A and B are shown apart, each in its own frame.
Chain A
Amino acid sequence: MSGSQTLDLTGVVCPLNWVKAKLALEQLDPGDELILLLDPGEPIDSVPRSALEDGHSVRVEGTSVTIVKGG
């Protein structure tokens, strides 16, 4: 099942924001999208990098990050 889900992680600090994103990704199928709303600064700098390192595709637009689950 392909789908898209949005997770508002504004106000959630590092690394808890990535923990929440990672657990949400665990529930998705490869190819599914997860859209994250992040705070500027450390979160937008580090969360997309963590997602890339875990093998997902990542697109950053401002403070919104679209992750396509790899597999």
Chain B
Amino acid sequence: MTLSDRDLERYSRQLVLPEWSGAAQARLKEASVMVVGAGALGSPVLAYLVGAGVGRIGVVDEDTVELSNLPRQPLHFTPDAGANKAESAMAKLSLMNPDVIVEPYPARLGRMNAEAMLMGADLVVDCSDSFATRYTVNDTCCGLGVPLVEGGVLGFDGLVMAIRPGESACYRCAFPVEPQEGSVPSCREAGVLGPVAGIVGSMQALEALKLLTNAVLPLLDRFVQIDARTLEQTIVSTGMRPDCEACARVPAATQSL
């Protein structure tokens, strides 16, 4: 895929990076990414992926914009209250970069439809706000062999992890015990400050660009824990678990071992 003069100008500040290349930019342009959730994590993820020149982006979110979302979800504006988040996000993103195809999916991703929604994507970024959805996205990406960036925020604590199914630990490998519904407070109950989600979402976008381009090594077989109170980051090593039920679903063709 060739880059136009317009592409070269728009993406010049990333193209001049020694780690970046025309080939990396072309890989982004050819890529199709699904982003699950257009809220606090989804806002920075979508803005940076659209900005960087990913070719096609699907946005999954069934929720509507509420006034209480606005402090931490900069893709949504006050007049959007009541609008579907995927649609509201698309309106801003198509102004940000009209060369990117943005497709809104105003639906809830669940066990029944996850595979149909994520099939065909080159990468999935999970910006959902519940453990149930996170495990569903992880298991589905493993089943499809699609790379995934996980991320989560709870209060001042954040987590980011890059996953290549069959090659590196998945979310379930790192966190095999699924929390019972209600045992962990949801974002709505726990509260969150906008910039904390912004940090985590920005890191997710960065890992997504690494997975898509191979320009820099992504955070595989490790995850980063962020304490936003002190800005301390801890890189935690993890690995594939031989008994992981999600990794057992990875199609043979994508397994490198």
Give chain A's interface residues, CB within 8 Å of chain B.
Answer: 15-16, 18-20, 22-23, 26, 50, 53-54
How close is B207's CB to chain A, nearest CB, in angstroms?
A: 24
Chief secondary structure at chain B's binding surface:
helix
B125 CB, nearest partner CB in chain A, Å: 27
B8 contacts chain A at the CB level, 8 A cutoff? yes
Most buried by B among A23, A50, A54: A23
Complex Cα spacing A70 to B8, Å: 23
Q: Among the listed A19, A53, A54, which residue makes an inter-chain contact with B15, where contact means beta carbons less than 8 Å apart?
A: A19
**Nearest chain B residue, comparing its CB with the CB of A54:** B18
- 22 CB < 8 A contacts A-B: A15-B12, A15-B16, A16-B9, A16-B12, A18-B16, A19-B8, A19-B12, A19-B15, A20-B8, A22-B15, A22-B16, A22-B21, A23-B3, A23-B8, A23-B15, A23-B22, A26-B21, A26-B22, A26-B23, A50-B16, A53-B18, A54-B18
- B18 CB to nearest A CB, Å: 6
The smallest C-beta distance from B8 to any residue of chain A, in angstroms, reads 5
Residues on the A chain within 8 Å of B23, using CB: 26
Q: How many A-B residue pairs have CB under 8 A?
A: 27
B13, CB-defined interface residue at 8 Å: yes
- The chain B residues found within 8 Å of chain A, CB to CB, are 3, 8-9, 12-13, 15-16, 18, 21-23
B-side contacts of A50, CB under 8 Å: 16
Bound together, the chains give a CA A22 to CA B29 distance in angstroms of 18
Contact B18 A16 (CB under 8 A): no
Contacts of B12 in A (CB 8 A): 15-16, 19
Question: CB-CB < 8 A to A23: which residues of B?
Answer: 3, 8, 15, 21-22
A54 to chain B, nearest CB (A): 6
In the complex, A11 Cα to B117 Cα: how many Å? 47
Q: Are B8 and A16 in contact (CB under 8 A)?
A: yes
The CA of A53 and the CA of B17, in the complex, are separated in Å by: 11
Closest to A24 in B: B22
Instruction: List 7 tightest A-B contacts by C-beta distance, closest first.
Output: A23-B22, A19-B15, A15-B16, A19-B12, A26-B22, A19-B8, A16-B12
Residues of the B chain whose Cβ atoms lie less than 8 Å from the Cβ of A20 = 8
Q: How far is the CA of A19 from the CA of B15 in the complex (A)?
A: 6
Query: In the bound complex, what is the Cα–Cα distance between A18 and B16 (angstroms)?
Result: 7
Question: Complex: how many Å from CA A15 to CA B13?
Answer: 8
Cα distance A11–B8 when bound, in Å?
Answer: 15
Residues of A within 8 Å of B9, CB to CB, are 16
Of A19, A23, A50, A53, chain B has the most CB atoms within 10 Å of the CB of: A19
A22 to B22, CA, bound (A): 8
Apart from A15-B16, A19-B15, what 19 extra A-B contacts exist at CB < 8 Å?
A: A15-B12, A16-B8, A16-B9, A18-B16, A19-B12, A19-B16, A22-B15, A22-B16, A22-B21, A22-B22, A23-B3, A23-B8, A23-B15, A23-B21, A26-B22, A26-B23, A50-B16, A53-B18, A54-B18
Closest approach, in angstroms, between the C-beta of A23 and any C-beta of chain B?
4
Residue of A nearest to B22 (CB): A23
Residue of A nearest to B14 (CB): A19
Residue of B12, B21, B23 contacting most chain A CB atoms (<10 Å)? B12
